[in-house]
Amino acid sequence: MTQFSALDAKMMALAIRLAEKGQYTTSPNPNVGCVITDAQGNIVGQGWHQKAGTPHAEIHAIAQAGERTKGATAYVTLEPCNHHGRTGPCSEALLKAGVKRVVAAMVDPNPLVAGSGLQKLCDAGVAVSSGLLEREAMALNLGFIKRMKTGMPWVTVKLASSLDGKTALNNGESQWITGPLAREDVQRHRAQSCAILSGSGTVLADNPSLNVRYSELGFAKNEIAEVNLRQPVRVLLDGRNQMRPNLHLFSLSSPIVIINSQPNTAEFPDHVEQYQAYSNGAQLDLHDVMKHLGQRGFNQIWVEAGAKLAGALLQNKLIDELILYQAPKLLGDKGRDLFAVDELTQMQQAFELQWQDVRQVGPDLKLTARFT
């Protein structure tokens, strides 16, 4: 096992913090950070990947370091790429720069790389190692890792409920169960996602925009322009073709994908496209839906839906993570439930999750759990 120094850990931790800067902009690429140090351990260059099609983290760090890359060590949160895409291979750039040691937090799960970047460096005489702060690096790119390994995106279902587990009153009123800080936190998760998915029932009932309100996240206008923040694609499941162009979300210009079983002949704006998924009548094949979203390069799907769609995703085992915002309110036994699922008759049929995080957001609790 490779032995890493305290300096190695410090530099990789910095690289991870740099990678986090790309969480709103890099999709469908992973978040990556890079730090370059000279022989004395002084930082001479650092960078992070900002947007697909632009230079990778290593290129930014090399450019900042200049001639000081000769004999240097590069710390990178993800194995340097070794293939030609919209940018050239970072492995070649590191060799040309004269780097003598490369430490990667993790091997790239992309089949086009998958160890070949580190192997190329090693074959050229560069000292290479991986696995430093690997768990932290993987947490940066859960969706990218899953999509590279399975072709499917990472799916997070967001729900908001009262303390007694109700998402709305019996008449459907639900605004607002949770407080403004919880809703602001939702905006942050939306911004980090490649797509926001909802069903026709929720859209027709609430007439939402399903976009990211960056103004609520404290970004200055010049900062938004600088990093080119994006709007996630809005994905609407509409097996019965109930969507109509006069709904509020169609007035916003960011992309929308309507997924149905038969084309909807209504005249939607140009930024709306349709995809016909496999179906059983009006019931869309949710596995086909997620496979299609993975093929589009979507790493993370953020789901805001009612009990019916949430229950269908649950029963099809398509949810990776559940985030529940729970307010200190009681709505009574007539309120609407979180999930609509078939009745369970034995305790071993229960859906089991593992807690990841529990914290207070304003007056509300934010509960994060993942399926085992």
Rounded CA separation 239/261 (Å): 6
**What strands lie across the sheet with 127-130, from one edge to the other?**
43-48, 33-37, 73-76, 101-104, 127-130
Rounded CA separation 34/369 (Å): 30
Ramachandran angles phi, psi of 101, nearest 5°? -145, 135
> Which segments of 39-174 does DSSP mark as H helices, in order?
57-65, 90-97, 116-123, 134-140, 142-150
Q: State the catalytic residues.
A: 58
Rounded CA separation 142/110 (Å): 13
Rounded CA separation 89/82 (Å): 5
Q: Which of 44, 46, 41, 43 shows the shortest CA–CA distance to 56?
A: 46
Query: Helices 116-123 and 90-97: crossing angle, nearest 10°?
Result: 20
Residue with tokens 């000279």: 38
Per residue, the 3-state secondary structure of 21-39, as one string, reads: HHCCCCCCCCCCEEEEECC
Rounded CA separation 237/199 (Å): 5
Rounded CA separation 220/312 (Å): 39
